[in-house]
């Protein structure tokens, strides 16, 4: 007779942890972006069209031989995909992002697996952080730039780090759960 593994049922405490973690991710993301915008513009704009918010003369701050702070508006999705959708892009991406967030939030609510919940919390929290930018500005603030020998990884932000980490946890958990 095979022994079945019992999965702990969802409880209110774990959902509360997920919600608090998402709020923390959104807060850290918005604070880092706000601080960066403050350094570049001398103020923290609450809303406006992204490309109308002009920073001081562009300063790229070299931190190390492989890392810079840069300023870029990303009107597309991850890695600047879909940035050429035209005038409808901001609204279309807000709607698409909202639907995707809803799907992952539903998965999070239904999940009974701890690591799956951690992964989905990171993904939803990061996506919500970027969604706030899309609603406020029509584009996302990206400012972290890693490079090597003239090759630059696309600029990103804290929310992107959370989304990427969440996807990595989700994939790793899926692989190891199968074994």
Distance CA 12, CA 18 (A): 10
133 is catalytic: no
Q: Which band of pLDDT confidence, cut at 50, 70 and 90, is reported for residue 4?
A: low
Mean pLDDT over 132-157 rounds to 89
Distance CA 11, CA 145 (A): 40
Distance CA 111, CA 115 (A): 10
H-run or E-run covering 135: helix 114-137
Dump pLDDT digits (tens) for 96-134.
999 999 999 999 999 989 999 999 999 999 999 999 999
Dump pLDDT digits (tens) for 54-109.
655 555 677 788 998 888 888 876 655 565 666 667 788 899 999 999 999 999 99
113 is catalytic: no
Contact 126, 160 (CB under 8 A): yes
- Out of 29, 133, 142, 145, pick the active-site residue: 142
- List C-alpha distances in Å: 100 to 43, 128, 131, 170: 32, 10, 11, 16
pLDDT of residue 39: 78
Q: What is the pTM (predicted TM-score) of this model? A: 0.83
Q: What whole-number percentage of the chain has pLDDT above 70?
A: 82
Distance CA 100, CA 93 (A): 10
Where is mean pLDDT largest: 9-18, 20-29, 72-81?
A: 20-29
- Out of 29, 133, 145, 160, pick the active-site residue: 160
């Amino acid at each position: 007779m095979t022994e079945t593994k019992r999965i702990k049922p969802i409880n209110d405490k774990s959902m509360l942890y997920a919600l608090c973690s998402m709020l923390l991710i959104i807060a850290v993301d918005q604070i880092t972006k706000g601080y960066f915008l403050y350094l570049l513009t001398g103020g923290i704009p609450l809303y406006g069209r992204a490309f109308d918010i002009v920073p001081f003369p562009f300063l790229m701050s070299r931190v190390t031989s492989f890392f810079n702070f840069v300023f870029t508006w990303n009107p597309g999705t991850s890695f600047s995909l879909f940035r050429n959708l035209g005038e409808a892009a901001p609204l279309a991406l807000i709607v698409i992002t909202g639907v995707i967030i809803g799907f992952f939030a539903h998965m999070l609510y239904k999940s009974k697996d701890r690591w799956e919940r951690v992964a989905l919390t990171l993904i939803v929290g990061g996506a919500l952080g970027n969604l706030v930018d899309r609603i406020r500005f029509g584009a996302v603030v990206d400012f972290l730039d890693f490079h090597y020998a003239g090759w630059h990884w696309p600029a990103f932000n804290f929310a992107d780090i959370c989304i990427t980490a969440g996807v990595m946890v989700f994939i790793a958990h899926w692989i190891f759960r199968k074994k």
